[in-house]
Amino acid sequence: MNRITSLFNIKYPIIQAGMIWCSDWRLASAVSNAGGLGLIGSGSMTHDILREHIRKCKNATNKPFGVNIPLLFSEADEFIKIVVEEDVPVVFTSAGNPAKWTSYLKEHGIKVVHVVSNVKFAKKAEDSGVDAIVAEGFEAGGHNGREETTTLVLIPMVKEVVSIPIIAAGGIATGRGMMAAMALGAEGVQIGSRFVASDESSAHLLFKQRIIEAKDGDTQLILKKIVPVRLIKNKFFKEVEEKENAGSSLIELSELLGTGRARKGMFEGDADEGELEIGQISGLIHEIKPAAEIIDEIVSEYHRIKTELEGIDF
Amino acid sequence: MNRITSLFNIKYPIIQAGMIWCSDWRLASAVSNAGGLGLIGSGSMTHDILREHIRKCKNATNKPFGVNIPLLFSEADEFIKIVVEEDVPVVFTSAGNPAKWTSYLKEHGIKVVHVVSNVKFAKKAEDSGVDAIVAEGFEAGGHNGREETTTLVLIPMVKEVVSIPIIAAGGIATGRGMMAAMALGAEGVQIGSRFVASDESSAHLLFKQRIIEAKDGDTQLILKKIVPVRLIKNKFFKEVEEKENAGSSLIELSELLGTGRARKGMFEGDADEGELEIGQISGLIHEIKPAAEIIDEIVSEYHRIKTELEGIDF
């Protein structure tokens, strides 16, 4: 028991990140059933699809689950209405101003968590009344902060300025990583990449396979002039990188990106032409597994490492 | 006791990084006297100065200490001779091929550690016969790896491929950071930035003050086309950044860098025109202190966090 397990009424302080194209009701319910908190990633959904997935998730688990809503997403306001109507117990907001919807969600009995990547926005999120903060470091997959602060550095810095519980994200896929996060002052972990490579993830099998093949140095943060995003360095990545290095304009870059690159890569499995958002920690992920097994392994390793650390003395 | 304290015959598995312009005999001996392993940073020294500092360090402590030698440094071969002649007990090599001097140093009874920033070179270093590895993450100050792998991700990845002990570096300045590193599988920590902001560091006081004023996002990795280096974002940094963004040639960048920028910034205290190499963790460093006090605080916090973690159960 700690403040995170109490807040969400879950067994383990392990949150599965709500990710576009990868985390629908199947993954969210599998994680919640296994004692963590599963999140539906709404950022790649339409209204109808989101409502359908929330309902399916409720049918698949009687445990708490949540929805991640990127606030800058054009559909965000509509999604807020849907989660209230559908009695979703937890909402994680990201990419936007938490002051906009936090009070409204909390008035409807929803626990609210906001994702930040720097100290200033951690404080702002606390001031807006959220129940907890996800502090996400540079090593995380997908969209990322401009400061490039790593999880190891970010967590204790955020802890200096906020008193609400912190959930560490970025670079965590194992019990060791979880123990490191707790040592830094986090009270829970948000895990993305490891769950993308799960049986229940809606990511395309070819994307999952690229994750388990990925090694040290196979992802990189790119598009810093638009919005920094960590991708696998595939053919598409290299085209974007070349254009960036050649000093291409934002318009040229946006045209190359076009629309649907994330769907193409992560959901349709076009590993060359698509955008593959994943974290550095993919280099430590070697097998596609059921979500429940992933959670069991993380928890077992956490306890094993705890005992090991107790035995070291100086 | 663990493999790192045994290897060096020290009380705490805390190594003070050997840093140019910042770590001469005063800092190294202060750290060794306080139970850690102090390292003289030879990369900014001449032969005579290095020999003088080794001798002064021996006079100032009867504890083990070491010298850091960047192998690509033009004087490296001469420095290897000096450390052997002067019976230095420990050598940390970096920036170069560990196969070149490791056997020679070990034949002379010297413990050898090599610094790496990726998995491939960790394995190469082990194969070359070094006693331990420093695995240094993206958040570290000064020169840095091209993969941009953070400490949180790098340590467990390196642990998968080597069996010799790992010393974690990059982003560590506190007992929390040390506990995180140990949880990840490191058996010791190398700490740089925190010791630059110590009384005994030879860094200029104005540089030390910039460190304690630094916040989240105030350092950045730059010069990726030449050799990546993490600097404080001062006036000089911004000039380099502008030239990089404008697509300047390597020759133009090298001319702007010139020579002596690091000395000017870190040793002479020109915080505008000089190069200020420091880690992201500077945002968590708030006071200039004696090295012994820094070590005491790290060790106390480590033990406090250990007790805290023992109390969390799920």
CATH number at residue B87: 3.20.20.70
For residue B210, tell me if it sits in a domain.
Answer: no
Q: Which of A304, A202, A217 is nearest to A262 (CA)?
A: A202
Residues of chain B with pLDDT below 70 are: none
Q: Which of A183, A178, A189 is nearest to A156 (CA)?
A: A183
Which residues in A lie closer than 8 A to residue B149 (C-beta atoms)? 139, 216-217, 280, 283
Regarding whether B71 and B13 lie in a shared domain, the answer is: yes
Q: Which of B27, B24, B10, B5 is nearest to B199 (CA)?
A: B27
User: Do A147 and B217 make contact, defined as CB atoms within 8 angstroms?
Assistant: yes
User: Do B152 and A137 make contact, defined as CB atoms within 8 angstroms?
Assistant: yes
SS3 A34: coil
Regarding whether B153 and B226 lie in a shared domain, the answer is: no
φ/ψ (deg, to 5) at A129: 100, 10
For residue B86, tell me if it sits in a domain.
Answer: yes
User: Do A138 and B152 make contact, defined as CB atoms within 8 angstroms?
Assistant: no
Band of residue A41 on the pLDDT scale cut at 50, 70, 90: very high
For residue B284, the 8-state DSSP code is G
Structure confidence by residue, pLDDT tens digits, A247-274 = 788 888 888 887 799 999 999 999 999 9
Regarding whether B34 and B130 lie in a shared domain, the answer is: yes
Rounded to two decimals, the ipTM of the complex is 0.97
Which residues, at least 6 apart from A52, have a Cβ–Cβ distance to it below 8 Å? none
Regarding whether A211 and A64 lie in a shared domain, the answer is: no
Burial A294-306 (b: 16+ CB within 10 A, else e): bbebbbebbeebb
For residue B208, tell me if it sits in a domain.
Answer: no
Task: Give me the domain span that covers residue B182.
Answer: 3-202+282-311
CB atoms under 10 Å from CB of A64, counted, come to 17
Residue A230 token pair: 């960590």
For residue B75, tell me if it sits in a domain.
Answer: yes
Instruction: Determine contact, residues A73/A50, Cβ cutoff 8 Å.
Output: no
- Which residue among A2, A5, A119 places its CB closest to the CB of B216? A119
- Which residue among A150, A179, A185 places its CB closest to the CB of B139? A150
Q: Which helix (H) or strand (E) holds B176?
A: helix B175-184
Class of residue B250 by CB neighbours under 10 A (exposed 0-12, middle 13-18, buried 19+): exposed
High-pLDDT (> 90) share of chain A, %: 91
Regarding whether A211 and A92 lie in a shared domain, the answer is: no
Nearest-neighbour CA in chain A from B152: distance (Å): 6
When the pLDDT of each residue in chain A is averaged and rounded to a whole number, the result is 96
Regarding whether A247 and A181 lie in a shared domain, the answer is: no
Regarding whether A223 and A105 lie in a shared domain, the answer is: no
Q: Which of A77, A184, A169, A84 is nearest to A132 (CA)?
A: A169
Q: From CA B42, how far away is CA B170, in angstroms rounded?
A: 20
Regarding whether B196 and B135 lie in a shared domain, the answer is: yes
SS3 A105: helix
Q: What is the pLDDT of residue B252?
A: 84
Regarding whether A41 and A28 lie in a shared domain, the answer is: yes
Q: What is the pLDDT of residue B227?
A: 87
SS3 A43: helix
Q: From CA B125, how far away is CA B213, in angstroms rounded?
A: 37
Q: Which residue has the higher pLDDT, B224 or A287?
A: A287
Instruction: Determine contact, residues B95/B117, Cβ cutoff 8 Å.
Output: no
Regarding whether B131 and B26 lie in a shared domain, the answer is: yes
Residue A215 token pair: 């090694």
Residue bearing tokens 């809606």: A202
Report how many domains make up chain A: 2
Regarding whether B178 and B293 lie in a shared domain, the answer is: yes
Regarding whether A114 and A44 lie in a shared domain, the answer is: yes
For residue B207, tell me if it sits in a domain.
Answer: no
For residue B289, tell me if it sits in a domain.
Answer: yes
Which residues, at least 6 apart from A109, have a Cβ–Cβ distance to it below 8 Å? A89
